[in-house]
């Protein structure tokens, strides 16, 4: 063998070794999904009722809707025209409706969107109230609801309007954050 042939053989062996090392090095890396469009649901439910419980085993919320799409990739569920029953620690409940909703199972929250209405489940009409807004977030662990949108709260004899809301379902209190105005009917 001539010097030129040995040099060529060494170069080819070196190129083969480097190529092999590069291939094995890439096996440890996580490859991105080849699918680049919107995620597809893992499953779909039609005309369902769902009960969700907190860490202590108490019911956190109940949901009913004509359609649910569960997406395992983003750990959540999209609902169409849902009706939720949100529960406080003492068993009191509120009904929440919206055009659409997203249940984020990682963050333990429900995002209600478009034409949101919340009413308190109570038999006494004199203490009944309703809340309307365009977007509302319900935190299922802390049982707080909040929004940064315009809110209207109606009770018999009064209407309150404001921007932004923080409500505690356990304490049965709410706070309007800004631009608050109200109208009250005189007592008879």
Q: Is the Cβ–Cβ distance between 85 and 51 less than 8 Å?
A: no
Q: What are phi and psi of 55, to 5 degrees?
A: -65, -25
CATH topology of domain 43-184: lipopolysaccharide transport protein A fold (2.60.450)
Q: What are phi and psi of 26, to 5 degrees?
A: -75, -15
Q: Residue holding tokens 């802390």?
A: 142
- Token output for 8: 């060529």
User: What is the rounded CA–CA span in Å between residue 64 and residue 143?
Assistant: 19
- Token output for 53: 């419980």
- Annotated domain spans of the chain: 43-184
| pTM of the model as a whole | 0.71
Instruction: Collect the ranges in the chain with pLDDT lower than 70.
Output: 1, 26-39, 123-127, 188
Q: Is the Cβ–Cβ distance between 87 and 169 less than 8 Å?
A: yes
User: What is the rounded CA–CA span in Å between residue 135 and residue 137?
Assistant: 7
């Amino acid at each position: 063998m001539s010097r030129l042939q040995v040099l060529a053989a060494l170069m080819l062996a070196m190129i083969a070794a480097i190529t092999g090392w590069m291939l094995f090095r890439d096996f440890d890396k996580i490859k991105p999904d080849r699918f680049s469009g919107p995620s597809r649901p893992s499953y779909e439910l039609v005309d369902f009722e769902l009960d969700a419980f907190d860490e202590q085993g108490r019911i956190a919320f109940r949901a009913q809707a004509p359609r649910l799409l569960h997406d395992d990739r983003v750990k959540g569920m999209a609902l169409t025209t849902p009706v939720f029953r949100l529960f406080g620690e003492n068993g009191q409940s509120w009904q929440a409706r919206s055009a659409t909703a997203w249940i984020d199972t990682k963050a333990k929250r429900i995002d209600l969107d478009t034409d949101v209405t919340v009413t308190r489940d109570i038999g006494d009409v004199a203490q009944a109230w309703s809340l309307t807004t365009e977007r509302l977030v319900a935190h299922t662990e802390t049982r707080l609801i909040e929004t940064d949108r315009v809110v209207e709260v109606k009770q018999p004899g009064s209407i309150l309007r404001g921007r932004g809301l923080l409500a505690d379902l356990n304490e049965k209190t709410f706070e309007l954050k800004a631009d608050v105005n109200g109208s009250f009917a005189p007592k008879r």
